[in-house]
Structure 1
């Protein structure tokens, strides 16, 4: 069975590599991608193919930034219709249940089966199990092939949107804490309370302090992708939930951190200095 992975980023490339290591032929679509991404796909053992060839795979995984999930679904559905085939498309992106339902509507009933997937955890690494791939809407057990070839798959009972809801809730807590810590540490730096705050965190909330010291630097290269993810969480919560405003603010914070990275990383440098004890 051929599996296609659209998205050869850090996560998509690592998942593809795990499948290849377990005997799967993995296609990918690389048109318009950077030289770094093309090289990553090559190292993972992915086979470049045009979109029509990708559409012929028995299972297609979409693992792309949330802002491009709809565009990828539209391109893939169009290719499937051109070929007159039916296949299984699993959206594994950090999107809201509302956006996931839009994805399902794009494919309709004439393209095959649409599965709602979400990935929790970091990219697979040698000697480690890797992330958990949650999936719902899989009455035909199409995801079983992934579990048979090296990935952790967990089924969720529920309609399309349940796996996406899980991702929104988990990411809202995990990345929300990172964003909250980033915002308040930067505020402490601006106001001269940074050393005192750091000491208090170490003394009264050591577990949180350790998490932030690790999670904040890890966030810098990913901040640009987290903007849309925070916006998806805000949409998931809905206008009637005051907490939706929190995640609109988080989107703005991560946008600021992405821009900081593009312009020399002054804020990141200040945060790193604080977390490294002023060194």
Structure 2
């Protein structure tokens, strides 16, 4: 196993952008094209990644493996590489309990586990942070030195990076869902125009936030359902009410799914939320 090789599972928009930073630093970064879409393969090529063919080949060649995938697939992906003996970094939006279960899968197989949480968009410019926790977090953070991704170690305890990610996303994505839900409520009750007029007077900043919430729901809402469920589980484990984000998961589930580069109509998103109640 070459110490210079890093594996990425699987290079979606975020994963490909993170992997590109490592490739640009001179690391050989490998991924598995088997079973992946043409879009994934195209992203990987543009990022300068090397196709290792299969997941087993990726883990066989890599000293460090990064898992960056939709949260609903994080546990299964870890099961797929059980027995990997290198450093496995789970940078997915999952609860502390979920990440500890993933850590057990990796560590029971002889690997080293690092907990990660990404705040911000795909790191093509400064402004995105990768929070890390675990005994081996510092060497992973060092991989991103002198890149636009700000890698920060927050603790040597597994679960802390994920807890921070859950707390951060609880507001950003959870409040977006609530804003859409409130406008849908006003429409269902026949007071939408009056509410929007009042918001224009007293909360003018909400106009841009509503548009942004609708765009996110249309483009990314399907990926955020499991993340809201993970946040709800985090609240529950802390002895706090999970209902806020269980409801947010339902809002994103009801939202129409719109192609990534297509415009999203706020009115259509609100209409879809209301229609489910009819």
Q: For the superposition of Structure 1 and Structure 2, which TM-score range results when normalised by the shorter chain? A: 0.7 to 0.9
Could you tell which deviates more after superposition, 111-120 or 241-250?
241-250
- TM-score, length-scaled by structure 2: 0.86
SS at match of 2:65: strand
Aligned to 1:148: 145
Q: For residues 242 and 149 of structure 1, what CA distance do their matches in structure 2 show?
A: 39
- From 257, 260, 263, give the equivalent of 1:261: 257
Query: Post-superposition shift, 1:268?
Result: 4.5
- Residue matched to 1:42: 45
How far apart, in 2, do the equivalents of 1:66 and 1:161 lie? Answer: 15
The unaligned stretches of length 5 or more in structure 1 are 81-85, 275-279
Aligned partners of 1:163 and 1:131: how far apart in 2?
14
Q: Answer 1 or 2: which has greater helix percent.
A: 1
What SS does the corresponding residue of 1:228 show, helix, strand or coil?
Answer: helix
| 1:99 aligned residue | 98
Separation in 1, partners of 2:137, 2:11: 27
Question: Could you tell me which residue of structure 2 aligns to residue 83 of structure 1?
Answer: none
How far apart in 2 are the matches of 1:69 and 1:2? Answer: 22
CA distance 1:97–1:242, shift in 2 (3 Å): closer
For the 8 Å contact 1:59–1:88, the answer to whether it is kept is yes
What is the rounded CA distance, in whole Å, between the counterparts of 1:2 and 1:240 in structure 2? 38
One of 53, 76, 101 as aligned partner of 2:57: 53
Give the TM-score normalised by the residue count of structure 1. 0.85
Counterpart in 2 of 1:184?
182
Listed one character per residue, the Cα deviations across residues 133-165 of structure 1 (whole Å, up to 9, x for unaligned) are 000013462213322251310111241100010
